[in-house]
Amino acid sequence: MHLEDRSLRICERSRGPMRIREIMTADVETIGADALAEVAADRMRTSRIHHLVVVHGSSIVGVVSSGDLATLQSLRGGKFPTVRELMTADPVCVKPGTLVRRAANLIRGRVVGCLPVVDGSRLVGIVTIADLLELIGRGVGRQPSGRVDHHPHRRLSARKPRTSPPRFRTTEGSQP
């Protein structure tokens, strides 16, 4: 499915909580754990992606990101180790029926860039920060009535202007 088609389908959704199966990328790029990191970097560059799911046989053993590769390359003077040496092992995975909100909280809470999507033990997709940002950018947070979903506790309140200068602390704890 093309990106435009997926985006239209997302924007046309009218009710119920959104699930990962609606925004995930089903065509997942994988790489073996013993492959050279240079091969992973080339594949990411060629495919214009930032994450590869690392597999050993049919098992998911990790995720490697373009950031992992760039950092290690600069530390090792341009020599690339194997993917196993720099991957994030045992990644958190989600199911296709997982709520998008839950996946976003997992990504945010664990500070990762993607979540592999599994059905049982079979890899069926991947959801990335870019997928979530696209969802927000397309305005999917709107309710079917066209009303924007607001959080009353986050409303801005009218504040009185400050009459005294702000106070700051220095590292020693004294005021300037």
pLDDT at residue 70, rounded to an integer: 80
18 by DSSP, 3-state: which?
coil
pTM of the model: 0.68
Residues 176, 168: contact at Cβ < 8 Å?
yes
- Domain carrying residue 101: 3-145
Q: Is 117 exposed, middle or buried (0-12, 13-18, 19+ CB in 10 A)?
A: buried
- CATH number, position 86: 3.10.580.10
Structure confidence at residue 98 (pLDDT) = 97
Render the burial of 93-115: b for 16+ CB within 10 Å, e for the rest.
bbebebebeebbebbeeeebbbb
Q: Within a domain: residue 57?
A: yes
pLDDT < 70 positions in the chain:
1-15, 71-80, 140-176
Distance of alpha carbon 106 from alpha carbon 87, whole angstroms: 18
pLDDT at res. 136: 87
Whether residue 151 lies inside any domain: the answer is no
Task: Indicate the DSSP class of residue 99.
Answer: B
Count: domains in the chain: 1
**Cβ atoms 164, 171 nearer than 8 A:** no
Does residue 106 fall inside a structural domain? yes
